């Protein structure tokens, strides 16, 4: 049975720092139990700050980074190395500083070479990567991710699945090209909500007062078409890691003591 947990910290810096500590423990626990752990990374201020905290933490070396499969929830469809790409930022924040196995780092295609001008081709190729990584025990075209990290926009988007967009209605494809995003850059590649829901745990990291209304709506039962974050759920646990500002419009019975 899946559970939903809400944790509130004083500010964004504490959200990022404590999420980094939680992720370290989770990866170590999974590796001790099954050998290899998997994580879906996210971009955005809090998501990248989490990786920076992890890089600076002495506990990072408790993780065997050569046995971590790394994926992304979405990517800006830009050339490799572009500073706005999520993978560029993730490498600078963490991946360039730990001994990851390059074969286990699964970046989404860039707007160049075989994918130039075709986010659809990049999405199809990433879907093939996911299918190749899925084992017989997964019974699906997607591996089960141990942790999927997600930011959230003020209007409630997660990954690059925006409210009332074609992507939010997708139930068959595991990865989609996204055009005309209301937030630049306009062209992206994204996991779909059903793919995100293959994760054992989904951790959402909204911070700031501008996201308070969407947080309250998502936890209050709003549908995923109107608010995609409401459809981002883990198979075992959905963890909302908020700062005080983002939790500002939650009803009192949903707000735990400040940590």
**Band of residue 1 on the pLDDT scale cut at 50, 70, 90:** confident
> DSSP per residue over 200-225, as a string?
SEEEE---SGGGHHHHHHHHTT--TT
Q: Check pLDDT > 70 for residue 204.
A: yes
- β-pair partners for 243: 9
Name the nearest CA neighbour of 22 among 143, 144, 147, 106: 147
**pLDDT value of position 135:** 80
The mean per-residue pLDDT over the stretch 95-116 comes to: 98
Contact 252, 19 (CB under 8 A): no
**pLDDT value of position 140:** 80
**pLDDT value of position 251:** 87
**pLDDT value of position 67:** 98
**pLDDT value of position 139:** 66
Write down how long the chain is.
259
- The CATH number that domain 3-254 falls under is 3.40.50.1360
Residue partners of 88: CB distance under 8 A and separation at least 6: 80, 81, 82
Mean pLDDT of the chain: 96
**Band of residue 259 on the pLDDT scale cut at 50, 70, 90:** low
- Note the pLDDT tens digit of each residue in 137-172: 766 899 999 999 999 999 999 999 999 999 999 999
How far is Cα 76 from Cα 86, in angstroms, rounded to an integer? 7
Grouping H, G, I as helix, E, B as strand and the rest as coil, residue 11 is coil
Q: Check pLDDT > 80 for residue 101.
A: yes
- β-pair partners for 6: 240
% of the chain at pLDDT higher than 70: 97
Residue partners of 102: CB distance under 8 A and separation at least 6: none
- Note the pLDDT tens digit of each residue in 23-48: 999 999 999 999 999 999 999 999 99
């Amino acid at each position: 049975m899946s559970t939903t947990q809400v944790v509130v910290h004083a500010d964004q810096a504490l959200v990022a720092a404590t999420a980094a500590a939680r992720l370290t423990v989770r990866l170590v626990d999974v590796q001790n139990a099954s050998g290899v752990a998997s994580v879906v990374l996210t971009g955005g201020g809090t998501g990248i700050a989490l990786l920076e905290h992890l890089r600076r933490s002495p506990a990072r070396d408790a993780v065997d980074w050569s046995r971590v499969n790394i994926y992304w929830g979405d990517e800006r469809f830009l050339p490799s190395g572009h500073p706005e790409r999520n993978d560029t930022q993730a490498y600078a924040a963490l991946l360039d500083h730990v001994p990851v196995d390059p074969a286990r780092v699964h970046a989404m295609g860039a707007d160049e070479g075989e994918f130039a001008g075709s986010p659809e081709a990049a999405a199809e190729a990433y879907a093939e990567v996911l299918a190749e990584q899925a084992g017989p025990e997964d019974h699906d075209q997607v591996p089960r991710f141990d942790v999927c990290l997600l930011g959230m926009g003020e209007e409630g988007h997660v990954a690059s699945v925006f409210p009332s967009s074609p992507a939010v209605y997708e139930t068959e494809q595991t990865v989609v090209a996204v055009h005309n995003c209301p937030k630049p850059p306009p062209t992206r590649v994204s996991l779909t909500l059903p793919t995100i829901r293959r994760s054992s745990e989904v951790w959402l990291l909204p911070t700031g007062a501008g996201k308070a209304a969407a947080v309250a709506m998502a936890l209050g039962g709003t549908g995923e078409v109107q608010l995609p974050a409401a459809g981002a759920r883990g198979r075992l646990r959905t963890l909302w890691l908020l700062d005080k500002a983002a939790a500002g419009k939650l009803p009192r019975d949903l707000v735990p003591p400040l940590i």
